[in-house]
Every structure is written in structure tokens, then in C-alpha cells.
Chains A and B, each alone.
Chain A
């Protein structure tokens, strides 16, 4: 029997219970035993002094790429789950664009087992919407749900056929899981490698217009309206997308949305002189978009703050901009970036931060956790929103070093990451 764990004297921030109070949290047998007030120390319990620290339900990130199976040279489920806990994240949802594609119950089961074996963050598999992510025929969603899939997505590419997306929304509704869309009109984005605007014009790079995303955002919202299915819109990057989601939510359509830490903090100017660590899809946009996205998180139009953690091999990023792969790692910087760019600038409160990084993630994806309520799973993130640190990619637990934040000063750092009542990461 594992020892009890008492988190003593921290500021408990748990919007799932409307809680923001100084008190203790006790974990026993992998679960929350008690939350709030002053709790006695059980015999043999391990005690962590949390004075001046935030005690929150474990952070969750429903959008990561862990590259296993297929590209274990770039990231494994173990290294990615380790990176997650180093960033204070206790559970992740792994996107299915692996090699082979996670489009069947065997691969879903494999991802789940690898996550359990690693023993860091919990790993919940996504299943692909279509067989081979080819956008042609529906993958066996029912079998995958039975094997542990929590949602479906062809992320990395959009579902181009509106008819297939319609069917996916209807079919997934049967199992009560969301369908997550990578919104990109490929005919409009074709060949683009950064935001279309002044910077792309100057650098002579083909741009991706905001409308390439927005056309799919409104298409999918309308399909959700028609079908009653749950559409979750991945990594939104434009002001227009926020307005369209707001439009959908006002009409009671079953739409949820996420934004990545890099899209609320960096503009396309960060591409600078062709820095491939500022290349991702969707691309970094403009200051106006950042403001709208931040506001969207603040007013709840955007539900979740995610990373779209996308490790790539050094050699693959070390090349001509247009030819470099899309994506950056984010698990170990997300908390710091979100605190620095939104919390400390007064855009959102601590409760909103925890809600968007934990409670709402669990609620929308039907995951355990996202709460410190007694009886819930013992996933807790203890963090210091004031801790100043400088990003040093060489210290990442992720195999990926592809970050635009190398050398950036951030304020906000995880101190203890607790999964199933066990401390799996302590800041060094």
C-alpha cells in the first residue's frame, strides 16, 4: 500500500467546485481522500509543504503528438509522457497520426498500454476518423472506443469531404465522444508555410490565409448543427474563428474549441529570418488574432488551452523553411507561457487558467480528473505562478528541442506533478 500524501497549506484552486482557498489536500490509494480545510497528518503520510504554491487538479492536454508507433527516434510515449509531467501535465490525449495510423483497436490498445507502462502522465488515445487518415471511409470507432479511444480526429489534415464529416459526427454521437477537426482548406493553404500577410510578402514565403481555417470552422459548426454531434475545433488561430465559434455557441450548437499556447503568445514576426522553430500549422498569426484568441479564452468562447506538442528531429527542422516540417514541442513550456502571456497580464484569473488547462479538458473529453473533489482520481498539479525561469531546451524531457521559446524568460512553473496519488515529477 502506497503512503498517503498530504499537500499542506497550499492555495487550492479548483473551479470544478468553485474553490479558491488555502487548505490541505489528502491523497490515499491513488485518489483524492479529502480536499480543503486543515487536515491532520495520517500516520506515515508523506507531507509536501505547499505554502505560496497553487494546488490544482492535474493539468490535462488533449492535443499532443507522441510519435509512437512509428517515429520513436523523435518521441516515444514514455518520453512524451515524461515531458508532460515535467510541464505539470498529468494526462494527455495522443493524436492518431502515427505510423501506422492509430485507426484500429489494436493500435489504440498499444498506445494505452505504452502510456500505462511509462508511468508518467496518463495517456488517452485518439482514434482516427477515417481509415489511414485518408478521408475516405470511417474507421471502426466503436471498436476503438471499447479499446480506450476517447475522441476521434484526422489531425494533421482536415476531413475534406463534408459528407464524411457529417457521418463521423453522427456516428461518434452514438458513442458520446467528440470529433476533433484540423480546420484547413488544403486548396487554399496549398504550399503555404506561414501566415499570409505583411511578413510573408516580405520574406517571399507562400502564405496561408486565415480563411483557410475559417471556412472549415463554419462548415463544421454547421454540420454539428445539422447532426447534433459534438465538434471540437483544434488549434484555432484566427480572430475570425473565435467569432464563428461564438456565433455557434450562441445558437446552442455542440461546438467546443481549443487554442495553443504559441497562438496566444507569438505573432508571425517570430518567423524572423526563416526560423523553422516558428513554423507550425496553423501558422503564427497577428497581434490582432492573439488579442481575439486571448479574449476568447477569457469569455469562454475558447474552452481549452492546449499545446499541439509536435516533436521533430533536429535534422528535419535544420533546413530550408518551406521544406521543414510543421510543429513545435510545448508540453514543458505551456504552463509558463500561459501564465506569462495571459495570467500575469490580467487577461484571465487563476481559476480560469486552471479551468482551461484542467477542469474543462476533463469535462469536454469525458476524462477522469479535472477536479479535486473527494473520490476523484489523485491527479494534482502543484505550481508556482510567480516562479521566473528561462527556457533551456537542452533540459527538456521530450526528445524534441524544436521550440521558439529557447532563452525566453517565463513566469510560472510546475513544482510537483502528482498522478494517481504518486509524485511523478519534482522540479529540480
Chain B
């Protein structure tokens, strides 16, 4: 069955503004389910979902699993290190074998950009991209959008800056595409060695100084600095990174307005973000995590063919 999003969710680049708004609007009623004592509705009862993770992930996998279980789907987690993938099986064979067991959806995380699309073009099940290489992480993008919308309202014309390793960040790409589709102004800030050479082609403003970015923006989405970037020589040291690009309370206090602070996690405290900012009054980082479950429930529901107007009814278990 094909719902209003099509068969798969591969990236925000593929979605229209209407589709993005639909997911966010659908997530709102789903938030309430997680606040109940009995956090479960029968909406996806009888559906089988495989969480196929070729990379380590705790947060995203657990978030998806909660979303699936709260909608009563049957879920199986497959980690690449424990599956036949490590015996040399190709991605397409892995997928076909899973599908032969009659599954309905695959949630895939993979180190290669484009792997979810490769899979989606070859199997009938719905495919959800849970992060592919340095390409996209659409559900993270969506939960960031939902969090920003919760705090700023309509995002049209709002100024959001993404800070850090944009070059290697799938979160950055999904944020840029999603925010632009909703009419926000997007900027990036980070060392030039961690920005794509063709960054201007992404339609974003570039700040070389974090101070200037803070002065401009209404919200900062602070990316995780992968420690291997330093080992690969993209930056000289974590110490210098923190000194030049770290989001610190001293820098935020100099700004003329309060900024909303987002971070996709896991954080390197004291590197890209200081603890007093991460735990401070303007941080919405845990709110992002909570929204993550709701957004993923909405995506699962819509891909399963759920009618958006029934989302309210679904949470009551009457769909």
C-alpha cells in the first residue's frame, strides 16, 4: 500500500513542503501516546519491521524501536556485525532474504551514501533511511524541524545555523533540505576543511566565525564532531576546535538575543558544545529526543498507508 509519502522515506530532498508538514502535523497527536501510562496503540498490529543497522547506533535504533513498539508492530533488530553480512553477503541478498520472510518495512542505517535507495529500488517493502553515509538522516531532520517549530512557530523566514562538520554530516544535509523547503533561512558555520567545497551550491550562507553566526541566528544546530576527523587531519586539534568554533556560554551571552540550541547527539561535551550550554535554559536537546519517537511514529504510520486525518483516531486505537 502506498500512502501520502510514497513507498519509502529516503531523504528530505525528495519530499515536498506539504509532505514534510504532513509528517510534522501527524507527529503532534502521536506525542501524547508517549506521555501515557500505557504507551501503546494497536495501529500497526500485525506488521513486521526489521531494523537493519550496518553501523552502530544506540539513540536512533532505540528511538525507532520505541516508535514501532508503541504502534504495536513486531520488530526484529539485525546488526551487521552479527548477521551474515559479515560473512560477505551482499546488501541486496540480505534484503531479499529478509523479504522472503514476509516483512513489511525495513529501517536501514548504512555507512554508504545511497544504500537505502539501492535497497528501496530492489524490494517491495517500505524502506526508511535511518542514516546513510554522509548523505541524509531524514528522521533526524524531521525531529529537528518539529522541535524548532514547537519553539519558533512557523519556520518561514526564521534563521537557523548549522555548526560544525557539514562535509561529513547527514544530519546537516537533511536539515538544510528540510528547513529550506519550509522557507527558513539556513546558514552553516565551521572550519572550511569541514564544509563541502561546493557549499554555496546548497543555497546556504557561510559564516567563518561562530561569533557572527551567533549574532545572525535564532537557533543553532550544533553537530557532533567525530573524533576521527581530527585523526584524518581535517582539523589540527579538538582543543583548537573548541577555542575557535565551540558553542560556549560566553559566546552566547554576548549575543543580542537568546538562541535555541539543538544537537543531534551524542555530544562531545567541551568540544563542539560546552556543558553549561547543553544543559542550559535554551537547550532543547532532550526535547529533540522526545520528538524523535513521535516523528518516527508518524513516518511509520504514514508509510503504512495511514490516513493523516485518522492519526488522531489511531492514537485512540480506533483506526
Contact = CB atoms under 8 A, between A and B. Distances in A.
Contacts of A198: 198, 201-202
Interface stretch (A85-93, A152-160, A200-208, A252-260): A200-208
A197 interface: yes
A273 B114 contact: yes
B199 interface: yes
Contacts of A204: 113-114, 132-136, 170, 173
Contacts of A203: 113-114, 135
Interface string B191-210: 00000111101100000000
B118 interface: yes
A207 B196 CA distance: 9
8 contacts: A198-B202, A203-B113, A203-B135, A273-B114, A320-B112, A320-B115, A321-B112, A322-B133
B110 interface: yes
A244 to B, nearest CB: 21
A198 B92 CA distance: 28
Contacts of B134: 204-206
A318 interface: yes
Given A321-B113, A323-B112, A197 B133 contact: no
Contacts of B118: 274, 319-321
Interface residues of B, number: 24
Most buried by A among B114, B196, B201: B114
B79 interface: no
A197 B201 contact: yes
Contacts of B117: 273-274
Nearest to A318: B92
B256 interface: no
Nearest to B137: A204
A209 interface: yes
A319 B90 contact: yes
Contacts of B196: 200-201
Nearest to A273: B117
Given A204-B133, A273-B114, A209 B197 contact: yes
A214 interface: no
Nearest to A193: B113
Given A198-B198, A201-B199, A320-B115, 15 more contacts: A196-B197, A196-B198, A200-B196, A200-B198, A201-B197, A201-B198, A201-B201, A203-B135, A204-B173, A205-B133, A206-B134, A209-B197, A274-B118, A321-B112, A321-B114
Interface string A181-198: 000000000000000111
Interface in B165-206: 170, 173, 196-199, 201-202
Contacts of B113: 203-205, 274, 321-322
Contacts of B13: 202
Contacts of A323: 112
A198 B33 CA distance: 42
B91 interface: yes
Interface string B97-124: 0000000000000101111011000000
B112 A322 contact: yes
A315 interface: yes
A336 B164 CA distance: 47
A320 B197 contact: no
A357 to B, nearest CB: 34
Contacts of A205: 113-114, 133-135
Nearest to A271: B114
B267 to A, nearest CB: 22
A318 B110 CA distance: 16
A205 to B, nearest CB: 5
A318 B196 CA distance: 28
A372 to B, nearest CB: 48
Contacts of A206: 134
Contacts of A274: 113-114, 117-118
A132 to B, nearest CB: 26
A319 B91 contact: yes
Interface string A297-333: 0000000000000000001001111110000000000
